[in-house]
Amino acid sequence: MNLDTAHDDVRHYYGEVLASSADLKTGACCPLEAMPAELRAMLGDLHPEVLERFYGCGSPLPPALDGMTVLDLGCGSGRDVYLLSRLVGEHGRVVGIDMTPAQLEVARRHQAWHAERYGHARSNVEFVDGQIEDLAACGIEDASVDVVVSNCVLNLAPDKQRVFAEIFRVLKPGGELYFSDVFADRRIPAALQADPVLRGECLSGALYTEDFRRLMAQVGCLDVRSVSQAPVPLLDPAIETVIGMVNFRSITMRAFKLPLEDRCEDYGQVATYRGTVPGAPHAFVLDDHHRFETGRPLRVCGNTFDMLGRSRYAAHFSLHGDTSVHYGLFDCAPGPAAVAATPAAACC
Ligand SMILES: C[S@@+](CC[C@H](N)C(=O)[O-])C[C@H]1O[C@@H](n2cnc3c(N)ncnc32)[C@H](O)[C@@H]1O
């Protein structure tokens, strides 16, 4: 698919076809009830126009962001940028990148309004007009970002490998990619991928989950974790007729810029959550099969040990062990605590 044509189609869809989330044809954008309560409470402090043009499919806002530099790829009208502005605090920084002028215009118009609302002496956010395939052209330097987030955007990118390569270039060592997107349970036929409405609705550009895993491996990330997921209802009968053979899910994924192994290996390591992540006094959820209850030691594989110990989460865990002795493959099946508390939805 030609990069420029694909970009023009997306710009047209988000700049001219859609005026608000009410214009979307499918249920890719999930109900607000599924958003974590502490984040939902913060929505009341966002400008209504920013909320009106929200087209995300999840809530890609990880914890422990105070003081961090966060990059939001395809920030649109800025809903997540402004939530992040509050979460990183006045000494943190948020950069939103988008290529649709109409979306950026709304985001920028309310910049001073949000800074004042949050009591920030000056705005800690910046919006850049650019393409997520070329973050260097957007002024984002190597290893300069703590956390990259994105909400329902990567499916729209015609060259996904370039986007993932750029993400891992700009992340600091131990930095985190945390994003929500629409995924498919199979590869989507090329003819449907070229359809501007199906693509604009975040369906026909959706990655097949196994191809996503392969793409991540190609850019050096061998272990990606799914945090939560929910089915995407197609709703529109015409859309159901042409693409209803595909099952779509909105999934929130997390990955770290770390030299991990391609399988979970057992070195007899143990992690205990200290209960210190703000807003999470009782448990820390790493993914859909790791829920760390406060004070309760959990045996973990080498990859999980590194995700916790070599990222910004390190201060919140007591970690025991090393890789000097190997006990074979680690059984990473969910423990009872994870099963009981698996989040049902990955939602806005
Ligand atoms: C589905 S909307 C989501 C917007 C925002 N993340 C939200 O949650 O409201 C997709 C956004 O990604 C932007 N976008 C898509 N592909 C892009 C690309 N290659 N480079 C920059 N922005 C892109 C579009 O302009 C649009 O604003």
Q: What is the mean pLDDT of the chain?
A: 93
Mean pLDDT along residues 211-239: 95
Instruction: Determine the residue of 4, 5, 153, 162 to mutate for testing ligand 1's pocket, defined as the one with the most ligand atoms within 8 A of the Cβ atom.
Output: 153
Distance CA 149, CA 153 (A): 10
Among 338, 215, 320, CA closest to 283: 338
What is the distance between the terminal CA atoms of the chain, rounded to a whole angstrom? 30
Among 173, 161, 109, CA closest to 132: 161
pLDDT digits (tens, 9 = 90+) for 164-216: 999 999 999 999 999 999 999 999 999 999 899 999 999 999 999 999 999 99
Mean pLDDT along residues 23-41: 74
Residue with tokens 């061998």: 222
Indicate which residue's Cα is closest to atom 4 of ligand 1: 76
Model confidence at 336: pLDDT above 90: no
| Rounded distance from Cα 296 to ligand 1 centre (Å) | 40
Q: Is the sign of the CA dihedral 276, 263, 340, 56 positive or negative?
A: positive
Query: Can you give the pTM of this predicted structure?
Result: 0.94
pLDDT of 235? 85
Mean pLDDT along residues 113-136: 98
Ligand 1 atom closest to residue 133's alpha carbon, by position in its atom list = 19
Could you please report the per-residue DSSP string of 94-129? Answer: EEEEES-HHHHHHHHHTHHHHHHHHT-SS--EEEEE
| Rounded distance from Cα 202 to ligand 1 centre (Å) | 10
Among 45, 180, 74, 191, CA closest to 132: 74
Q: Where does CATH 3.40.5.100 sit in the chain?
A: 269-331
Check if CATH label 3.40.50.150 holds for domain 3-256.
yes
Mean pLDDT along residues 92-116: 97
pLDDT of 35? 81
| Rounded distance from Cα 74 to ligand 1 centre (Å) | 4
Distance CA 234, CA 317 (A): 41
Indicate which residue's Cα is closest to atom 20 of ligand 1: 131
Model confidence at 295: pLDDT above 50: yes
Low-confidence winner among 28-32, 79-83, 278-282 (lowest mean pLDDT): 28-32
Among 62, 55, 144, CA closest to 106: 55
Mean pLDDT along residues 208-235: 96
Dmax (CA) of the chain:
59
Q: Residue 137: count other Cβ atoms within 10 Å of its Cβ.
A: 10
Fold of the 269-331 domain: Ribosomal Protein L9; domain 1 (3.40.5)
Among 169, 162, 140, 165, CA closest to 71: 140
Q: Where does CATH 3.40.50.150 sit in the chain?
A: 3-256
Model confidence at 333: pLDDT above 90: no
Model confidence at 346: pLDDT above 50: no
- CB of 153 closer than 6 A to ligand 1? yes
Mean pLDDT along residues 12-29: 80
pLDDT of 26? 75
Instruction: Determine the residue of 99, 203, 204 to mutate for testing ligand 1's pocket, defined as the one with the most ligand atoms within 8 A of the Cβ atom.
Output: 99
